[in-house]
Structure 1
């Protein structure tokens, strides 16, 4: 899996954890190991600009996903999908910090960025949360991936609760 993390935010983030959780999520979703993903970490001003440009919504947001090849996870009996360009995930650590502090379980900016990375991966793979049934499926899958990743890394304590919109 080729994953690039480019931090343009000026805020120190745990890039290794972002890389690792993205790789874990893609493997869990059975995405071809030669697929490519880009993760870009930006400041609030850059995120606000992207949010307005692409969603026509004011203010910065936590995560945005820009799919390229529209890859989808294979079904249980499907063959391995071909490699491709997944696209870009854009993260905003300032928004992540605020959301982590405001979350019911209260967690760090880096824990929130890990959650948002998985959220972004799922969006790239076609998952959405506009409808209640879609939200239940996506957030359930997101929680399972984060919980399994945390368990594999010996992280104890409550998992970050979903804080994305």
Structure 2
């Protein structure tokens, strides 16, 4: 698994922690070592530009996902072996504001958003109540078990 983590902001973060999260999620979702993905951290201006361009929505958002090869999770003994999962874009300043409201750290918020983005790249969504329940239950499980083993 190759995860490129690029921080284009002044926000200080440990890129290796996000790569470790990706490795953990990939392992849990049966994604093989030849699959690629990137996580990009951008400022509010760039996030707003992406938000308007791709979703026609105003203002910056916390996270956006851009799937490439439309990969689905593998299964035990049958991992997804090759492909480009896509890109996740996170805005640290928006995440920090959300973290303050939720009462946890900026990094925890961004790790949660990265987990959320990876699930979107794997085809999960939260349009219907059932989809939301499935995606958010899996997101919570992956996020909390990553934190517990880190």
TM bucket by the smaller chain?
Answer: over 0.9
Matched, 1:99 2:83: no
For the 8 Å contact 2:6–2:41, the answer to whether it is kept is yes
CA drift of 1:75 comes to 4.0
What is the correspondence of 1:60-75 to structure 2 with a 5 Å cutoff? 60-75=60-75
Deviation at 1:82, TM superposition (A): 2.9
Task: Please tell me whether residue 132 in structure 1 is matched to residue 129 in structure 2.
Answer: yes
TM-score of the superposed pair, with normalisation by structure 2: 0.96
Equivalent in the alignment of 1:37: 37
Higher helix share: 2
**What residue is the counterpart of 1:90 in the other structure?**
89
Partner of 1:3: 3
Higher strand content, 1 or 2: 2
The 3-state SS of whatever aligns with 2:88 is: strand
Aligned to 1:163: none
What is the CA-CA distance between 1:66 and the residue it aligns to? 0.4
Deviations 1:17-45 (A, max 9, x none): 11111111111111111100111100000
Task: Name 1:112's counterpart in structure 2.
Answer: 109
The two structures, once aligned, show a CA RMSD in angstroms of: 1.1
Q: Which has the larger displacement, 78-87 or 34-43?
A: 78-87
Whole-angstrom distance in 2 between the partners of 1:93 and 1:14: 13
TM-score by length of 1: 0.87
How big is each residue's C-alpha offset from its partner over 1:77-136, in whole Å with a ceiling of 9 and x where there is no partner?
x72223100110001000000000111xx1111110100010000000000011110000
Distance 1:25 1:74 in 2: 12
Structure 1 ranges of 4+ moved more than 2 A = 78-82
For 2:53 and 2:63, the matched residues in 1 are separated by 14
Aligned to 1:51: 51
1:90 match: secondary structure: strand
